């Protein structure tokens, strides 16, 4: 009898089961990470043994098979199948599952949770306030999505080119968030780069590009002395210099009108577009004092020096170097060594330029022999200058004949440019008694030949009659060092690019003859 009742019960359940097999109850996907929620906790999909998101006849069949020992459930599956919570899975649970599947019984009540309203941003959706069920995650009211706003873009200002920074076109920036679209940067549009390019173009026209070249990139600039072109003595005519100097004036006027330029040892050489004369002099000779010495002692990389330059507080690193064939570099080093041994310059504590000229041993010996006991201080300057002009370079610099002649030839070829400077220069020579006489007459510097003798002859011809009439004793002498103050007046008032007016300077030459 007992087995008969079990069979009848099973058949009844099966009839109910298979009769409702096509009717299912769909529900939202449960959160598989949540633990099983009991009936008292709300609307979790009770009876969803296989966790397919719905309580269906398939779940009722599984529960029934477990009840008759045809299928074994694990602990979690048994909890989901035990709808009446009697601690076991029976045909009664299968029946309840089936009733839920065909919607004869309602799910337990939802557990409501408020949805906090969220404003949309440029890139993220927002949501309206509402209510959701914390168990089944269904939205019970509100909770509607608000589409993202998108960026509210406005045009940003362009970034003008500065000395070290390129020009940047206007970009775009969102008024609501930090999103920004950078403007296009124009490569090589900085003032530094454009100035170098303009100078190179003019140098090419004048042939000076064979002597020097300049490069700039971002905050670095390099000036290279081309040894091959320099030693070959490129012909530099007056027209070339006019064009080159003229273009430099235009570039200075265009780019430096209101810029401040601080160089090397902190000298402000340009302020509000006007050259600061004393600072310029200090800057030139703080570098120039060791010019030939540095060239004579260049390292393998050919770097002469690396200097900091500041334009409107933008820092630029300027590198000066030399390159060329090994043969010509060696010649120029030899030449520079000769000059470095006999000429140097420094700035005194008072800011005056002092140039020391050291006579070569050959010249000292030659003069001593020719004087033959005469008092050198009584020698007439005019006669002495004429006498020096007759000397060959071999009597002065010995084995350095080629290097010195090279210097003389180079100065001769530059004579149009030298004349342009001299015509604007009034030079007085200071004497030991406090008087001063004119150094130059009105003759142009036009040497007959491009060598040492020719250059000396031209220099003698330019000396004024006042200087010729002096004796060596008219100059201050201390131990064979003759100190000659040169008082220079240079009129640059016509230079509209530099607008420097008249420069008054004193340059002291110390001639070391017998010290």
Strand partners, 139: 132
pLDDT digits (tens, 9 = 90+) for 199-235: 788 778 777 788 888 899 889 999 999 999 888 866 6
- Contact (CB, 8 A) for 252 and 497: yes
Token pair recorded at residue 274: 């006007």
Report how far residue 257's alpha carbon sits from residue 10's, in angstroms, rounded to the nearest whole number.
Answer: 106
> Closest Cα to residue 381, out of 470, 459, 463, 446?
470
Higher pLDDT, 490 or 191: 191
Report how far residue 436's alpha carbon sits from residue 441's, in angstroms, rounded to the nearest whole number.
Answer: 15
Q: CA dist 8 to 16, 34, 62, Å?
A: 12, 39, 19
Report how far residue 216's alpha carbon sits from residue 181's, in angstroms, rounded to the nearest whole number.
Answer: 28
Q: What pLDDT is attached to residue 437?
A: 95
Q: What pLDDT is attached to residue 344?
A: 85
User: Mean pLDDT in the chain?
Assistant: 81
Question: What backbone phi and psi angles, to 5 degrees, belong to 357?
Answer: -115, 115
pLDDT at 439 over 90: yes
pLDDT at 288 over 80: no
Top mean-pLDDT range of 65-69, 183-187, 234-238, 420-424:
183-187
Higher pLDDT, 149 or 140: 149
Rounded to 5°, angle at Cα 220 from 219 and 222: 155
**Residue 253: alpha-carbon gap to chain centroid:** 24
Q: Considering the chain, what percentage of its residues have pLDDT values greater than 70?
A: 80
Top mean-pLDDT range of 42-51, 181-190, 359-368:
181-190
Sequence ranges of the domains in the chain: 2-101, 112-146, 190-342, 348-515
Q: What pLDDT is attached to residue 32?
A: 43
Q: What pLDDT is attached to residue 374?
A: 74
- The residues, ordered by sequence, that sit 6+ positions from 23 with a Cβ below 8 Å of its Cβ are 57, 101, 102, 103
Prediction pTM value? 0.64
Of the listed ranges 39-48, 250-259, 348-357, the one predicted with least confidence = 39-48
264 conformational bin, left if phi > 0, alpha if psi -120 to 50, beta if neither: left
């Amino acid at each position: 009898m007992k087995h008969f009742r079990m069979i009848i019960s099973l058949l009844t359940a099966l009839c109910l089961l298979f009769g409702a097999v096509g009717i299912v109850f769909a529900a939202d996907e449960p959160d598989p990470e949540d633990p099983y929620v009991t009936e008292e906790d709300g609307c979790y999909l009770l009876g969803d043994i296989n966790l397919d998101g719905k309580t269906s006849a398939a779940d009722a069949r599984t529960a029934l098979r477990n009840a008759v020992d045809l299928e074994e459930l694990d602990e979690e599956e048994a909890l989901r199948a035990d709808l009446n919570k009697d601690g076991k899975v029976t045909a009664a649970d299968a029946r309840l599952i089936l009733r839920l599947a065909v919607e004869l019984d309602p799910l337990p009540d939802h557990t409501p949770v408020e949805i906090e309203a969220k404003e949309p941003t440029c890139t993220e959706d927002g949501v309206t306030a509402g209510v959701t069920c914390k168990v089944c995650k269904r939205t019970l009211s509100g909770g509607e999505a608000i589409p993202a706003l998108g960026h509210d873009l406005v045009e940003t200002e362009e970034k003008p080119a500065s000395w070290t920074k390129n020009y940047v076109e206007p970009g775009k920036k969102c008024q609501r968030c930090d999103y920004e679209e950078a403007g296009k940067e124009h490569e090589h549009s900085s003032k530094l780069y454009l100035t170098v390019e303009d100078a190179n173009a003019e140098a090419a026209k004048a042939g000076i590009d064979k002597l020097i070249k300049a490069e700039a990139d971002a905050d670095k600039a390099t000036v290279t002395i081309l040894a091959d072109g320099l030693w070959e003595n490129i012909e530099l005519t007056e027209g070339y210099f006019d064009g080159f100097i003229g273009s430099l004036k235009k570039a200075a006027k265009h780019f430096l009108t209101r810029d401040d330029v601080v160089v090397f040892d902190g000298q402000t050489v340009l302020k509000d577009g006007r050259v600061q004369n004393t600072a310029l002099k200090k800057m030139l000779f703080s570098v120039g004092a060791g010019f030939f010495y540095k060239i004579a002692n260049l390292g393998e990389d050919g770097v002469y020096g690396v200097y900091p330059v500041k334009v409107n507080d933008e820092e630029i690193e300027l590198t000066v170097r030399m390159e060329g064939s090994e043969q010509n570099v060696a010649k120029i080093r030899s030449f520079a060594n000769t000059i470095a041994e006999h000429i140097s310059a420094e700035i005194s504590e008072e800011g005056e330029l002092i140039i020391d000229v050291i006579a070569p041993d050959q010249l000292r010996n030659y003069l001593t022999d020719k004087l033959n006991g005469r008092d050198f201080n009584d020698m007439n300057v005019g006669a002495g200058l004429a006498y020096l002009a007759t000397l060959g370079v071999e009597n002065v610099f010995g084995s350095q004949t080629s290097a010195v002649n090279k210097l003389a030839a180079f100065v001769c070829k530059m004579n149009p440019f030298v004349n342009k400077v001299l015509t604007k220069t009034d030079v007085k020579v200071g004497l030991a008694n406090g008087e001063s006489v004119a150094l130059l007459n009105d003759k142009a510097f036009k040497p007959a030949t491009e060598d040492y003798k020719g250059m000396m002859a031209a220099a003698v011809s330019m000396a004024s009659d006042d200087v010729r009439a002096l004796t060596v004793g008219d100059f201050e002498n201390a131990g064979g060092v003759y100190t000659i103050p040169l008082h220079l007046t240079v009129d640059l008032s016509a230079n509209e690019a530099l607008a420097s007016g008249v420069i008054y300077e004193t340059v002291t030459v110390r001639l070391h003859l017998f010290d």
